[in-house]
Amino acid sequence: MKLIQTLAVSSLTFTSVALAQSSWHTVKKPTLEQTKIYGSYANGCFSGGEVIPINGDGFQQVRPSRNRNYGDESLLIFIESLGQYAKMQNKTVILGDLSQPRGGPMNFGHSSHQIGLDVDIWFEAIGKDGLTKQQRENLATPSLVDGKKGVISKHWQPYYRDLIHQAALYPKTERIFVNPVIKAYLCETEKDKSWLYKVRPWFGHDSHFHVRLVCPKGQKDCEPQAPVAKTSGCDADLQNWVKDQTDLALGIKKPTVSKSKPAPKVMPAMCRTILNQ
């Protein structure tokens, strides 16, 4: 009896691991039901969801062939709000990846973006006429960071600060990820630092910033992150981030620390049903 129980547990674990590694990117459409979110930003899925327009009012998405323009209704409302702000500046918000039709892990590019509450905003000052059809698939955005010097590059524009600021003031914005050098620049130049607590340093994010919304009310299976401390984050820890960024750009290798291999992620059980619908 004990052997049978052990085999049963092993089978369930294998199924869960296999589910986490499934080809979520091959799913073409969302499920036809009310939106329900399961799991965390980096380990979850969702049913229902909204199709975010490729060409919206004040916003457009690049790389539409990736089929990553899905998310919760709250994400669509946020994007529409940011699009209206951009229109007032005679600009168009350029969206990168959102989520796949049913969320889940992507085959490349992100470990998060799994529950329809994340969106990448490209650092582009595109006019109100938006992108051409060719640009939508092939647009290349320059880095705003001179990594070797640890400073903002010549491509920075005040409009990019305004976009980040607008996104941070949005009530349902939980976090915004930017390159450590960009965060440090904002710390140096902003007189009012009260909104900077939402802006978090993270490697990469030198040609786009990543907005993450809070779990919507009523979504009891959506796993929130621990809240960020409401301090500016303009401190010695940020300078360590900047130094690490510079070392990385200069090819300075840090001593490796031996770590145990993390256990495979087990996705919420409902994700199996959603994937197979």
Q: What is the DSSP letter of 99?
A: B
CATH number of 2-276: 3.30.1380.10
Residue 13, pLDDT score: 36
Per residue in 71-85, pLDDT tens?
999 999 999 999 999
What is the mean predicted confidence (pLDDT) over 198-220? Answer: 97
Residue 48 CA to residue 70 CA, distance in Å, equals 10
pTM reported for the whole predicted model? 0.90
Number of neighbours of residue 211 by Cβ within 10 angstroms: 26
How much is the average pLDDT of 87-112?
A: 95
Q: What is the pLDDT of residue 133?
A: 85
Cβ–Cβ under 8 Å, residues 200 and 176: yes
**Residue extents of the structural domains in the chain:** 2-276
Q: Which residues contact 61 (CB under 8 A, 6 or more apart)?
A: 52, 54, 55, 69, 94, 95, 96, 98, 136
pLDDT at 5: 39
Q: ∠ at Cα 42 (20, 273), nearest 5°?
A: 40
